[in-house]
């Protein structure tokens, strides 16, 4: 059981790795406190530093341990739970697979599709596993009733796309949507689409495509998913039609991937002698590329149809980050919690546009 604020902050990455069954965290063991006037709740920078707002994260968590084992009203429990959700969310961003880190390769963080997928998957994984995180820390003893508290839904415009996509992929490959999300969440941004593509590849192409062409096929399937997710980037979480379109985009990404799988399957189905020769070590090749209409920007159709990407049903019918601008603000100097001051590189935030801090202070939760 975690019994102090200092212990929680020291072990936050290790606890996240344990709960998420991840390979490792790219956290650099430093966190900093944002200025009180900053409009962001939290950020992760490219060097692996986490920045937390004092009112939304630091002070609620300190208060939770200062008042350990006491009974609290619903509003207080909600404030504690929301602070934990933010801390857990940022630490999930820092998870990475074997041989990878947070910022390798950097180019893969630039596209809109990557940002939507990163933030949507990270927030869904956060919501899925938050109670497990609380249990791992033993916090229901520190703050009795915290498991029944409520927390905000960050990136509400992105999660419908991720939910629809993970449901479709899960139904296709025989996994629960939560397991699909988990497998994607524990790798960095550069690897997330590839993990999803690998699930589909293993189900449909592993017996058709030579091993020497595997990486190329997975890259093509992953790329096919980009357009529909990129279209979601500017959606408004407060617009019901945008939320519906986000769900359609997730399903469209699945159909785009399955259409690409069909193209690859058709090519190799007629070239099994070549596949056997390649697998025997006689050479290497890649599948000829078609020329699909894939764009990073995407667009919403005025008639309410799915965003970009092939609309072919593919092999099976489905069952079912936002990166903030550079911040010139510096963290609080002289804090025992923080690292050394530095100009901040690009970062993620647990509160994108529309989920920034309000001028009146921390967000309040409705218990309707």
User: Does 279 score more than 80 pLDDT?
Assistant: no
What's the chain's average pLDDT?
81
Query: How many angstroms separate the first and last alpha carbons of the chain?
Result: 32
User: Does 45 score more than 80 pLDDT?
Assistant: yes
User: How confident is residue 281, by pLDDT bands cut at 50, 70 and 90?
Assistant: low
Q: What is the pLDDT of residue 270?
A: 75
Q: How far is it, in rounded angstroms, from Cα 229 to Cα 252?
A: 9
User: Does 184 score more than 80 pLDDT?
Assistant: yes
* Each residue's pLDDT tens digit, 4-17: 999 999 999 999 99
Q: What is the pLDDT of residue 276?
A: 66
Share of the chain above pLDDT 90, in %: 65
Domain boundaries, the chain: 5-155+324-349, 160-320
Q: What is the pLDDT of residue 267?
A: 87
Place of tokens 């009974």: 71
Would you mind telling me the total number of residues written for the chain in this entry?
A: 368
- Average pLDDT (261-271) is 88
Q: What is the pLDDT of residue 316?
A: 32
The DSSP letter of residue 186 is: T
User: Does 368 score more than 50 pLDDT?
Assistant: no
Q: What is the pLDDT of residue 301?
A: 39
Q: What is the pLDDT of residue 354?
A: 31
| Structure tokens belonging to residue 51 | 């920045």
* Each residue's pLDDT tens digit, 295-344: 443 444 333 344 433 332 333 333 323 333 333 333 343 333 443 333 34
Helical residues (DSSP H) of the chain, grouped into ranges? 5-20, 59-66, 74-93, 112-137, 139-142, 159-173, 177-185, 189-204, 214-224, 226-231, 240-269, 272-279
> Which one has a higher pLDDT value, 363 or 50?
50
C-alpha distance from residue 333 to each of 43, 54, 84, 352 (Å)? 17, 13, 24, 25
- Average pLDDT (49-55) is 97
Are 151 and 85 contacting, i.e. CB atoms less than 8 angstroms apart? Answer: yes
Q: What is the pLDDT of residue 274?
A: 66
- Average pLDDT (39-55) is 94
User: How confident is residue 278, by pLDDT bands cut at 50, 70 and 90?
Assistant: low
User: Does 287 score more than 60 pLDDT?
Assistant: no
Are 120 and 161 contacting, i.e. CB atoms less than 8 angstroms apart? Answer: yes
Are 223 and 293 contacting, i.e. CB atoms less than 8 angstroms apart? Answer: no
């Amino acid at each position: 059981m975690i019994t102090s604020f200092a212990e929680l902050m020291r072990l936050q990455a290790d606890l996240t790795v344990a709960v998420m069954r991840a390979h490792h965290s790219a956290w650099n063991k430093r966190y900093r406190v944002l200025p009180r006037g900053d409009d962001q709740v939290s950020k992760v920078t490219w060097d692996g530093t986490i920045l937390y707002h004092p009112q939304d994260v630091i002070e609620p968590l300190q208060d939770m341990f200062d008042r350990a084992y006491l009974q609290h009203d619903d509003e207080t429990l909600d404030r504690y739970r929301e602070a934990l959700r933010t801390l857990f969310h940022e630490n999930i961003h820092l998870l990475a697979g074997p041989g990878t880190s947070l910022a390798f390769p950097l180019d893969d963080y630039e596209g809109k599709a990557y940002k939507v997928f990163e933030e949507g998957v990270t927030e869904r994984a956060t919501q899925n596993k938050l109670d497990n995180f609380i249990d791992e820390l033993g916090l229901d003893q520190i703050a009795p009733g915290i498991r029944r508290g409520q927390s905000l839904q960050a990136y509400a415009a992105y999660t419908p796309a991720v939910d629809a996509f993970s449901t479709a992929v899960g139904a296709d490959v025989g996994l629960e949507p939560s397991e699909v999300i988990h497998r994607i969440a524990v790798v960095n941004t550069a690897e997330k689409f590839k993990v999803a593509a690998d699930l589909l590849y293993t189900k449909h192409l592993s017996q058709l495509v030579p091993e020497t062409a595997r990486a190329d096929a997975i890259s093509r399937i992953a790329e096919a998913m980009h357009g529909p997710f990129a279209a979601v980037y500017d959606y408004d979480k407060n617009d019901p039609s945008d939320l519906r379109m986000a769900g359609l985009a997730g399903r469209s990404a699945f159909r785009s991937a399955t259409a690409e799988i069909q193209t690859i399957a058709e090519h190799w189905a007629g070239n099994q002698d070549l596949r056997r020769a390649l697998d025997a070590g006689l050479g290497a090749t890649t599948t000829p590329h078609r020329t699909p209409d894939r764009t990073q920007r995407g667009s919403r159709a005025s008639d309410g149809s799915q965003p970009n990407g092939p609309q072919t049903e593919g092999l099976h019918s489905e069952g079912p980050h936002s990166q903030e601008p550079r911040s010139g603000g510096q963290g609080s100097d002289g804090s025992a919690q923080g690292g050394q001051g530095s100009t901040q590189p690009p970062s993620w935030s647990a509160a994108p546009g529309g989920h920034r801090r309000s001028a009146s202070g921390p967000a309040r939760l409705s218990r309707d």
